[in-house]
Amino acid sequence: MKGRAALFLAFRIAGPGKRGEGGGRRPRVRGTSARHIRGAIFGIALGLVPFVLVLVVADGMIRGISSRYLETWSWHFQATSIGPSTAAENDRAAAALRALPGVTAAWPEIRGPALAVHAGRSAPALIRGLDSGALEESGMKRYLKLLSGTRSLEGRQALVGSESAKKLGLAVGDSLVVMTGGADGGGGRTSILRVGGIVTAGYRDLDELWIFVPRMVADRILPQSARQDLIGIKVADPYRDPASDTRRFELALSSSLGKDHATVWAVRPWKELERNLFASFETTKALLLVIMCLSVLVAAANVSSALVMIVYERSQDIAILKAAGASPSFIALVFLLAGAATGLLGSILGVGLGALAAWKVNELIGGIEMILDGIASLAALAGGSGGQLPTIHLLNPAYYLERIPVRLDIGELGAVAGFAFLLSMLASTAPAIRAARLRPLEIMRKT
């Protein structure tokens, strides 16, 4: 019963008073208290909108880039042999891995550095020797998009990353010269390939180096001293604990070559292979969220300020309640509930608006870029300058994904709303204590 009464009074005290109510030195104006509360609610909402937007966009960027690395570059696991192994042995090892439960793909690959040359231009490149079937694997096919030409690897045909093709001025059907050498710089080889297709992973760091060639071609043009032979492995769930899978794969690889074979295999999961990259992603996300937390703290301070003003304006009502027998703890509970209601409404509004903005973030960015392009064009016309103006990009595709993947996590959104609600409750503590300590006789004498 006491809780219901406190909740009722919390809404009454935070609500509008009557015109002329109170009189004396501090006349009341209808809606003054309500305006303070509305301002605090909108303050929390405005603080949460960028918080949610940054959280969702950062998660989308990290997951989008991580997925591209996992599916097109690092694989879920990589198996490498300690000691030389032949192509036939690698094929048998890959077949043994594919037979294991939970393994969705296993393909041998040869990697090595090269210098790509075309039409007087040169650029560093990474040769990736694969079988055509590896490019048809579901994850590789999903994230490695074909822009022109064909995906197949036949003869001396090569697939070139879009950024690498742009640097070298390559098109489908062009001849490409690749120069490879040993780790000590000796034993250089020059090979001519034909561009069969242009591909993109949607991320510049990946597109600017890759040149895919048939594995047999990579075996011929890359010397043993300057290449890496591996088996890329994919599983149904790459995010689970890799320890058991790592041990299972190593046993299967050892048994595939027989007990008398001297080759030893080492298997490493993607979290170990790309540890530095993903650690930097998580650190950046954490720093952004810390900055956004400061805006929510400021919004919570607005709740405290609003309640302080309400305590000042409603001091006569508090005096009457105390004269009628209300205890200090009851008065404090009333203002704590008022702060809780303010925080709850602000959290719901802010998280809702932030989730909506995050859901349409790509469209919002595109609209803002169009407006900025229009303004730049009008300014150029007004200034009399001609020529084609560069397109404005808020997120430069050279460093970010071309399109942000959006995934709303209900748990994370609930945690953000709960965080703002708790801060509002804490901010309400000081005004609630102040209201509980007011003395009715002093208030009556002042009015």
| Tokens read off for 147 | 């822009």
Mean pLDDT value across the chain: 82
The confidence score (pLDDT) of residue 398 equals: 57
Q: What is the mean pLDDT of residues 85-101?
A: 88
The DSSP string of 274-289 is THHHHHHHHHHHHHHH
Whether 153 has a pLDDT exceeding 60, the answer reads: yes
Whether 25 has a pLDDT exceeding 50, the answer reads: no
pLDDT band at 444 (very low <50, low <70, confident <90, very high): low
Q: What is the mean pLDDT of residues 346-361?
A: 90
**DSSP state, 73?**
I
Cβ within 8 Å of residue 148, ≥6 positions away = 171, 172, 197, 198
Whether 204 has a pLDDT exceeding 80, the answer reads: yes
The confidence score (pLDDT) of residue 9 equals: 67
Q: What is the mean pLDDT of residues 55-73?
A: 86
For 295-319, what is each residue's pLDDT tens digit? 888 888 888 888 888 888 777 777 7
CA 366 – CA 376 distance, rounded (Å): 15
DSSP H helices, 360-399, are 361-383
Q: What is the mean pLDDT of residues 103-109?
A: 94
Pairwise pLDDT comparison (291 vs 190), residue with the higher score: 190
Whether 47 has a pLDDT exceeding 90, the answer reads: no
> Domain locations in the chain?
2-62+278-446, 84-262
Whether 345 has a pLDDT exceeding 80, the answer reads: yes
For 321-338, what is each residue's pLDDT tens digit? 777 777 888 888 888 888
Whether 368 has a pLDDT exceeding 90, the answer reads: no
Whether 400 has a pLDDT exceeding 70, the answer reads: no
For 218-239, what is each residue's pLDDT tens digit? 999 998 888 889 999 999 988 8
Q: Of 231, 183, 442, nearest to 316 (Cα)? A: 442
